[in-house]
Amino acid sequence: MEVNKSIFRENDIRGIYPEQLNEFTISKIAKAIAVKCKKENIESISVGRDGRLSGESLLSSFCDSLIDSGINVTNIGMVTSPMLYFEAKTNKTKSGIIITGSHNPKNHNGLKMVVNDRPVSGIEILSLIESMESKSTSKGELKTKDIKEKYLEEVINSISIKNPSNYKVVIDCGNGAAGCVAPDLFKRVGCEVVELFTEVDGNFPNHHPDPSKLENLQDLIDSVISNEADLGLAFDGDGDRVGLITNTGENIFPDKYMMMLSENILSKQSGAIVFDVKCSNHLAELITKNHGVPLMAPTGHFHIKRTIKENNALLGGEMSGHIFFNDKWYGFDDGPYSGARIIEALSEHKENKNISDIMKTYPKSFSTPELNINVTDENKFQIIEKFIAENELEGEKNTIDGLRVNYKNGWGLLRASNTSPKLVLRFEGNTIEDMNNIQSEFLSELSRISPNIVINLT
C-alpha cells in the first residue's frame, strides 16, 4: 500500500477512512512523527482520540507504531483536542497528538499534532515519510492517563464568572467529543446547564457537529428560546470551536463576539490580538480603538498559534469559531473554555446587559457566512493562484491567504480551504447592496478566470 499524499495538509492530516487514512497509513505517520521526535530529543508523547467510530482502531495502530519506533507513549483515551493540547502544554516534553476528524463527515479522520510546544504541519510529516530510512532498535513503553480532572481544575481556577448561578446556558455538543467534558465544566463553574446531544456518538445521529453552519444550530436556537436561556453554545466534533446563540436566538458570528472578548481583555491589559483573513474590518478597528494591536493572519490554527507566539498576543480567533486565549490561559483553541470566557465577559460587562443587547452595541454591517464551492484537493490551490494573478478587481489587495480585497464600502475574500476540497468565500458590506455587489464581482471574475468551476455556493 502507498500513502495518499492528498491527506497531508498545511495545518494537519485529514482523510477518508479507510480509503485514504487507515491502520497502515497511520502506522507510517507514527514512524515519521517518531523521527521528528528523536531529532528534537523528545522521548515520550501523549496521544488521544475524539469520538469517531474509527478512532479506537486507529489509535491502537498509532500507539503500536510509536512504541515500535522507540517512543514512550501516554494514552489519554477519548478527549477533546483542547484537552490534548492542555496535556501537551503541561507534560514534560510538551508534545501530543490527537486522532480527530474535527467537523468533517463521520467517515473522515485525521491527526492534529504538537511536538516540542509547536504545531506540526502535515506537509512536514509527508516529507519525513518520503525520506525515512533508519529503524529503531529499542522499543518504547505504553502507559495510560486520565487528564479530565486536572484539566477541569485548571479551567475552573482560570474562570471568574460573577454570580454564575444567574446564567442559564444551553450547550449543544452535537454528539461530539465535547460531550465528555463540557457538561461538567459549565456545571462546575456554577451555571445552570441545559444539555443537548452530550452523549458521544460517532454516528452524529442528531445533526452534524459543525457550528459554522446555520442548519446545525437550529436545535440549539429552539432550546435557548424554549428554556428562556441567557445564551447557547455549540461545539464541533473535537471541541476546539464554539458557536454562540444569544438569548433571543440570534446566531452571532465569531468575529462579532471576538469584539466583546477583545474589549474585555484589553480593558485589563494591553497587547496584540490576532484574527484570520475571514474576519470583519470592524474587529480590527475596535481593537485599535481599545489601544490594542490588530494582527491579521492566514486561516488555520497552525498560523494563528504561530502569530500569537511570535507576538505574545493576548487573544486569537478565526471566523470558524476557533478562539485562542493567551492572557491567562495557554494560547490554544478550546471551545468549552471559550464558551466559559464568553459568560465571564458577559458577567463583567459594565452595563450589566444581556448578550443580545451587548452585540447590538458593536458596529453593524452586512456579511455572508462562510460560503463554499466544491472543487478538488488537487486543483484548489491552482485555482486560487490563477485568480490572484488574473483578477481585475479594484481595491486594496491582501494575498496572505488567498485574495482579500478591501473597498471603502466592504470587502471580499476567496481562498482555498486547508482542510477540505473547497474554495472558501466571505463578503461584507456597509449595506446589503454593497455586500451583494462585492460578492457578484468576485463570482463574475471567478467564472471568467476558471469557467469550468461549477459555482454552487453552500
DSSP 223-287: HHHHTT-SEEEEE-TTS--EEEEETTS-EE-HHHHHHHHHHHHHTT---EEEEETTS-HHHHHHH
Q: Cell triple for residue 429?
A: 458590506
Q: Is residue 77 classed exposed, middle or buried when 0-12, 13-18 and 19+ CB atoms within 10 A define those classes?
A: middle
- For β-strands 231-235 and 168-172, DSSP reports them as parallel
Nearest Cα to Cα of residue 191 among 353, 341, 357, 86:
341
- For β-strands 231-235 and 366-367, DSSP reports them as unpaired
* Residues labelled catalytic: 102
Q: How far apart are alpha carbons 169 and 229 in whole angstroms?
A: 6
Q: How far apart are alpha carbons 252 and 410 in whole angstroms?
A: 19
**Residue 8 pairs with which residues in a beta bridge?**
13
Q: Is 293 left (phi over 0), alpha (psi -120 to 50) or beta?
A: beta
Q: How far apart are alpha carbons 185 and 181 in whole angstroms?
A: 6
Q: Cell triple for residue 293?
A: 494591536
- For β-strands 231-235 and 242-246, DSSP reports them as antiparallel
Q: How far apart are alpha carbons 254 and 454 in whole angstroms?
A: 29
